[in-house]
Amino acid sequence: MEDNTMLVETLLVKATNYGKTSFKLVKLNALDKTTDVVSSIIPHLIVLIITSTSILFINLALALWIGELIGDVFYGFLLVGAFYALVTLVFHFLLRNKLKRIIGDYIIKLVLN
C-alpha cells in the first residue's frame, strides 16, 4: 500500500513540475513573440516620425510659397489645409478598410513567424 502512495505522490510531483514547466514555456514563447513584434514595429515608427517631420516642414514651406504667390500667407495655408482635408476624406471612404487589412495581415505574419 505504501508503494502505491509513493507512486501516486511521485506522479503528482512530476505532474506539478510538468505543469509549471509548461506554463514557463508558454510565458517565454509569448515574450519571444512580443519582442519580435515590438522590435520590428519600432524601426517603422522611427521612420514614420522622421518622415512626418519632413512632410510638416515641406508643407509649411509650400503654404508660405503659395501664400506669397497669391498675395496673402493665410490663403496659402488655407489651400494646403483644404488639400489635406480632401486627401483625408478620400482615404477615409476609399482606402481605410484596405489599409486595415494590410496592417492586420502584417501583424499576424509577425506573430506567426
- pLDDT tens digits, 60-110: 999 999 999 999 999 999 999 999 999 999 988 988 888 888 888 888 887
Q: What is the pLDDT of residue 68?
A: 94
Q: What is the pLDDT of residue 80?
A: 95
**Residue that is written with C-alpha cell 516620425 in the block:** 49
* Angle separating helix axes 73-90 and 2-70, nearest 10 degrees: 140
Which among 54, 36, 57 has a CA at the least distance from the CA of 46?
54
Enter the pTM of the model.
0.60
Mean pLDDT score, 30-54: 89
Question: What are the residues whose beta carbons fall under 8 Å from the beta carbon of 60, sequence distance 6 or more?
Answer: none
pLDDT at position 39 over 90 = no
Q: What is the pLDDT of residue 1?
A: 61
DSSP designation for 93: I
- Identify which has the larger pLDDT, 80 or 5: 80
Measure the CA–CA gap between 61 and 37, rounded to whole angstroms: 36
Within 10 angstroms of residue 51's Cβ, the number of other Cβ atoms is 10
